[in-house]
Every structure is written in C-alpha cells, then in structure tokens.
Amino acid sequence: MMENDIQEVLFSEEQLKQRVQEIARQIDEDYAGQEIMLISVLRGSFVFMADLCRAIHLNCMVDFMAVSSYKNGTTSSGQVQITKDLTEDITGRHIIVVEDILDSGNTLHYLLNLLEHRNPASIRLCTLLDKPSRRKVPVEVHYSGFTIPDAFVVGYGLDYAERYRNLPYIGILKPYVYGGQ
C-alpha cells in the first residue's frame, strides 16, 4: 500500500481544501470583474488546479503546459524541456501559472520568461508548495499555499516516478523509496 511509503503527513486533505479556498478568495479579490486564464503546469499541478478552478468565482479559462526538468529523479536536472505547449493564445490575457511546487526555480524561471514574451496583460505565479531552501534562481510568487522543508513530498498530484499522485494529502516520502538516506 502507498501509505506504507509515507514517513509523515505534512498537510491533510482538509488543510489542503481550506488553503485552496483561501487562495481562490484572494484571486477573486485581485481580479474582481476580470477574466483570467489558469495555466496548469502538468502533471503535478492538475489536482491543485482542478480544485482551485472550482473555487474561483470569476470567468476563468484554463490551458495546460507540460514542462519538465526532473525526469524520474528527485532533483532538477537544470535542463528545461517543454513537452506540451499551450493551445490558446495568451496575448492580452491575465495569466495565472498554477504549479504544484517551487523548488530550485529553474523550470518556473524559464517558463515565466517564455510566457512573458507572448505578451499577456499580466502574469502571476500560484504555487501550492514553496521550498525556498532549494532555490537556485529567484522567482516571484504571488499566491503560495504552504512553505515546506527540504523533503521529498508526494500526494495531491505530486509524484515520485509517476506514483503517489492520487493520495488525498501531501506527505513526505520515506527515503528508502527513492534511494535517499
């Protein structure tokens, strides 16, 4: 069972639901009367974005990008690869990039610069988890769910080797699972 691989639950299903509601309320206030476009960075953010999108009370479009710098490892390779680009034009739109976790910053720095060159009206970053102790590149976060310690986390869309995404909470993965200490 997946639960046997979890060392500790960091955020319960209820804590996640409450924090998503709080972020949605802030977005509703910040963009009152405007239409926004949420861009989910696949695959890790799909659960977070689905919940966030349902909690927002504005006209809201969605699109998806797949960007990777991890492969099946636990740390960023530093090489960013776009494996699925947007299908919608973002020119003149208010964009909120929705990400599962901000770690080194390499991937999001690259992605935000790329999107900025497509001339949106505005662009902001919403990340569920922020791990500032691992930051290598500065990235401005506008909406953040939780700050976490330097641990390998899974659940609520986050994975290790494509597993554990379906856990309803966020937990720290036991190091033996991924060959850690």
With beta carbons less than 8 A apart as the criterion, state whether 62 and 38 touch: yes
How many angstroms separate the first and last alpha carbons of the chain? 21
Instruction: Return the bridge partners of 172, or none.
Output: 8, 153
Residues 6 or more apart whose Cβ sits within 8 Å of residue 91: 118, 119, 120
CA–CA gap between residue 111 and residue 145 (Å, rounded)? 20
Angle at 10 between CA 25 and CA 155, to 5 degrees: 80
Residue 103 falls in the annotated catalytic set: yes
- The residue from 5, 51, 100, 103 that is catalytic is 103
Catalytic site positions: 103
